[in-house]
Amino acid sequence: MKKIVFLIVLIFSLKSTSVFSKNDLYEKIDLFGEVLENIKKDYVDDVNQAEIMDSAINGVLQSLDPYSAYMSPELFNEMQTDTSGEFGGLGIEIGMEAGVVKVISPIDDTPAEKAGIKPGDYIVKIGNEQVQGKSLMEAVKLMRGPVGTSIDLTVRRKNVKKPLKFKITRKIIEVQSVNSKIISEEKNIGYIRLKSFNENSDNQFLKSIKKLEKNLKIKGYVIDLRNNPGGLLAQAINITDFFLDDGEIVSTKGRKISETRKFFARKGDEIKGKPIVVLINNGSASASEIFAGALKDHKRAIILGENSYGKGSVQSIIPLRNGGGMRLTISKYYLPSGKSISEVGVIPDILVEEVGSDFEINSEKDNQLNYAIKLFNS
């Protein structure tokens, strides 16, 4: 009964600002009760009423956008202890699209990336479980497990007729978010690969810049954000700020005043105006799009590669009284130009489609990086 009351209150709060009249709302609530009664009375199998209510609650949240979801008490507790080391993962950032789990990006040097999972893959089966109809949180739970155990993933990939199967062994995901080196035949281009925007990325990034800047021959930088699924907003702001002297970096807009904010660059460009080429692809999402979009809008960098993913929203984890929780979108990101990232992404200045699956510095296989090098030498 408590769950039914919760759902009714949730529906009422969602619809109360719409054109729905109270009579229309009460009719919908009555209809919902009627559907439940018919399921209980006539459905072919006995069903767990509590599980049905969980699914209904999750359905309300997922009808809002692909990133809002309900977590049962068990799942919410598991999410909170995710960093305890007891469980391992695959290293995939995922989202929902039309009821199907879609890979936003595999993280570099993780089991998923090494197995060959690619951005844009649709996960249709986890082990023996069909994914269709499951929530994002349920899919995450199925993929987690003890370190060293394996899981079979069946995926559908664009332009590949048959489903692909991958056997992946779980491990603790520890991401060193920044790699850097000097590239090109003349050894005059700084290359920084940023894999994610985690708690210490800005410090790692700044150390890499200062180390590279000691080489007086450096005439520009390639910042590689391909397959970077994003991370913390504060990190995106800090790292973008390294290259801007002033101006807006990003703004967030939500229903609450507290969620509507603008963030600006502070004076000081760590590389003193040297040219930048930013590499992005379909696996560049969220914080990556803030970085690339801000530098593009300020004409501080050339963006090269493929259109980014288009995840331009902020989620908050809200604990619930039953011990569970909900992930709810509370605001959206907007670039300095005023454009939204959501579902649109960042469009590159120079479209160069990715060839092959590996990012290999100075390799003929990495056509995007080689194109970027040519820009500096042209």
Interval 174-212: pLDDT, tens: 777 899 999 987 879 999 999 989 888 999 999 999 999
Question: Residue 140 is inside which H or E element, if any?
Answer: helix 136-143
Span 9-40, pLDDT tens digits: 445 444 444 555 667 888 888 888 888 889 88
The answer on 313 and 202 residing in a single domain is yes
* Pair (140, 244) in one structural domain: no
| pLDDT number for residue 19 | 52
Known catalytic residues are 286, 297, 311
- Please compute the mean of the pLDDT values over residues 269-284 and round it to a whole number: 95
- The count of domains in the chain is 3
Total Cβ atoms within 10 A of residue 43? 10
Last residue of a domain, one of 28, 50, 74: 74
Residues 50 and 158 in one domain: no
Please check whether residues 33 and 93 belong to one and the same domain: no
Last residue of a domain, one of 22, 42, 74: 74
One domain, residues 137 and 189? no
In whole angstroms, what is the distance from residue 292 CA to residue 280 CA? Answer: 8
The parent domain of residue 300 ranges over 178-377
Residues 306 and 363 in one domain: yes
Q: At 335, which CATH number?
A: 3.90.226.10
Give phi and psi for 369, each to the nearest 5.
Answer: -65, -40
Q: What is the pLDDT of residue 33?
A: 84
Residues 17 and 68 in one domain: yes
Of residues 216 and 41, which shows the higher confidence score?
41
pTM, rounded to two decimals: 0.75
Question: By the 8 A CB rule, do 274 and 209 touch?
Answer: no
CATH number at residue 106: 2.30.42.10
Residues 139, 87 share a domain: yes
CA–CA dist 282, 215 (Å, integer): 33
Q: Among 74, 94, 117, give the residue marking a domain's end.
A: 74
